[in-house]
Amino acid sequence: MKRWPYILPLVAVLALGGIFAKRMVDIENGTDPSLIPTVLLDTPIPAFDLPPLPNRGEALRSEDLKGQVSLVNFWGSWCIACVSEHPALLAIAKEGDVPIHGVAWRDDPNKSLAWLAQRGDPYATVGQDPDSKTAIAFGVVAAPETFLVDKQGVIRYKQTGPITAADWKNKIKPLIAELKKK
Amino acid sequence: MKKLALFLAALCISSFALAVEPNEMLKDAGLEARAREVSKQLRCVQCQNETIDESHADIARAMRLLVRERITAGDTNDQIIAYMLSRYGDYVLLRPRFMSSTLILWVGPFVLLVLGGLVVVTRIRRGGTEGLALTEEEQKAVAALTELGEGGS
């Protein structure tokens, strides 16, 4: 009597478990961004008009983003991962390839300002989004998230989680160079 | 006993007293009911397995407030859900839509059920107890076990 077929269900369950575990780990690590696709990729940025931080420059308006390639970075003084991302943003700002616009998401403006004063300010403009409306319009889940916007105001890339030096060098910077030519 | 019953009743009710704070609620009960209905279909995008109606996450709260604002502004339930879909994709729906990419999800279990049923039916049709009867060796083993059981009692 053949007994091996009885092993099959166990093998099937283990195989499925393995696949699920791998996908979960991939999503967790963000190694496969396609697993949580951005529906907004290659679509125009949503309209917004966000007030500036007190005594700090201009408001951040979707209309103003048109005409040049730019980064839109959702961040908050409450956001721990933003601390680890910050040096990369400062370095990008210093390189001067692209303006970084900050959205101070769900934050006390004074805390946002204090945070920037303490850690350095990479942002060309900062707009406040206290009620998360613009964050939701961008499909933001958790800070930091960063959108690369082309000259026509179309989203061309989305970074979920902190931008690392490697992300900048290998993905974002080459993409900016390409978008600038258009 | 009565106290226990009361306690259990309170426990049941409290599981329905969800994340929606009183100050979030709409004054119009009908509109609020619609807001709850919509909220129960939308996933808290940060917490993965909760609706925005039951999640305490900040983003869920923001989405709840937006749902209520849109309802007050006169949007239909479908319009609000369509908006959230356009921002977050299918992920925002707790109950996946029926479409080509979710076909396996919806149909898979029934296919498996039918396949399993076919296997059972063919087995039964084949009749016969061939392979089902105990071999001599197995009978001995059973006898030994039963004796052991009786001896132990």
Asked whether residue A117 carries a pLDDT value surpassing 90, the answer given is yes
Q: Does one domain contain both A15 and A103?
A: no
Q: Does one domain contain both A98 and A72?
A: yes
Query: Cis (ω within 30 of 0) for the bond into A144?
Result: yes
The radius of gyration of chain B from alpha carbons, rounded to an integer in Å, stands at: 28
**Residue ranges covered by each domain of chain B:** 9-95, 101-152
Closest chain B residue to A35, measured at CA: B91
Q: Does one domain contain both A143 and A160?
A: yes
How far lies A105's CA from each of A41, A111, B32, in Å?
A: 21, 11, 27
Q: Does one domain contain both A82 and A121?
A: yes
Mean of all residue pLDDT scores within chain A: 90
Stated as kind and residue range, the H or E segment containing A98 is none
Spell out which residues of chain A touch residue B89, defining contact as CB-CB under 8 Å. 37-39, 139
Is A130 part of the contact surface with chain B (CB cutoff 8 Å)?
no
Spell out which residues of chain B touch residue A140, defining contact as CB-CB under 8 Å. 59
| DSSP code, position A152 | T
Q: Does one domain contain both A25 and A68?
A: no
Residues A73 and A150: beta-carbon distance below 8 Å: no
pLDDT for B38 equals: 93
Domain extent, residue A64, equals 38-181
Q: Based on the number of CB atoms within 10 Å of its own CB, is A75 exposed (0-12), middle (13-18) or buried (19 or more)?
A: buried
The model's confidence at residue A8, banded by pLDDT at 50, 70 and 90, is confident
pLDDT for B150 equals: 59
User: H-type helices in chain B, by residue range?
Assistant: 2-16, 29-39, 58-72, 77-88, 103-125, 136-152
Q: Does one domain contain both A16 and A89?
A: no
Check CB contact under 8 Å for B89 and A139. Answer: yes
pLDDT for A2 equals: 63
* Region B9-95: CATH code: 1.10.8.640
Three-state secondary-structure class, residue B56: coil
Q: Which residues of A126-163 are buried (b: 16+ CB within 10 A; e: fewer)?
A: bbbbeebbbbbbbbbbbbbbbbbbbeebbbbbbbebbb
Check CB contact under 8 Å for B87 and A131. Answer: no
Percent share of chain A, pLDDT over 90? 73
pLDDT tens digits for A13-56?
A: 999 999 889 877 876 666 655 555 578 989 999 999 999 999 99
What ipTM was predicted for this assembly?
0.79
Asked whether residue A153 carries a pLDDT value surpassing 90, the answer given is yes
Q: Does one domain contain both A123 and A147?
A: yes
Is B89 part of the contact surface with chain A (CB cutoff 8 Å)?
yes
Instruction: State how far the Cα of A137 lies from the Cα of A115, in Å rounded to an integer.
Output: 25
Map tokens 């960063």 to a residue: A146
How far lies B107's CA from each of B95, B101, B102, B111, B113, in Å?
A: 14, 11, 9, 6, 10
Specify the number of domains making up chain A. Answer: 2
Q: Does one domain contain both A132 and A80?
A: yes
pLDDT for B106 equals: 82
Q: What is the mean pLDDT of residues A111-120?
A: 96
Taking a contact as any Cβ pair under 8 Å apart, which residues of chain A between 87 and 106 contact chain B?
106
Residues A53 and A126: beta-carbon distance below 8 Å: yes
Check CB contact under 8 Å for B65 and A131. Answer: yes
Angle (nearest 5°) at CA A30 between A12 and A113 = 155
Which of A74-83, A93-102, B76-85, B87-96 is the least confident region?
Answer: B87-96
Spell out which residues of chain A touch residue B85, defining contact as CB-CB under 8 Å. 39
A-to-B residue pairs, Cβ atoms closer than 8 angstroms: 41
Check CB contact under 8 Å for B58 and A106. Answer: yes
Q: Does one domain contain both A96 and A119?
A: yes
The model's confidence at residue B153, banded by pLDDT at 50, 70 and 90, is very low
Residue type, A114: A
Q: Does one domain contain both A98 and A15?
A: no
Instruction: State how far the Cα of B30 lies from the Cα of B121, in Å rounded to an integer.
Output: 52
Closest chain A residue to B67, measured at CA: A133
What CATH number has the domain bearing residue A46? Answer: 3.40.30.10
The model's confidence at residue A71, banded by pLDDT at 50, 70 and 90, is very high
- Closest by Cβ to B66, choosing from A40, A133, A138: A133
Check CB contact under 8 Å for A142 and B63. Answer: no
Q: Does one domain contain both A71 and A154?
A: yes
Which of B60-64, B91-95, B149-153 is the least confident region?
Answer: B149-153
- Å from B146 to nearest chain A CA? 25
Tokens of A120: 């350095």
Spell out which residues of chain A touch residue B58, defining contact as CB-CB under 8 Å. 106, 132
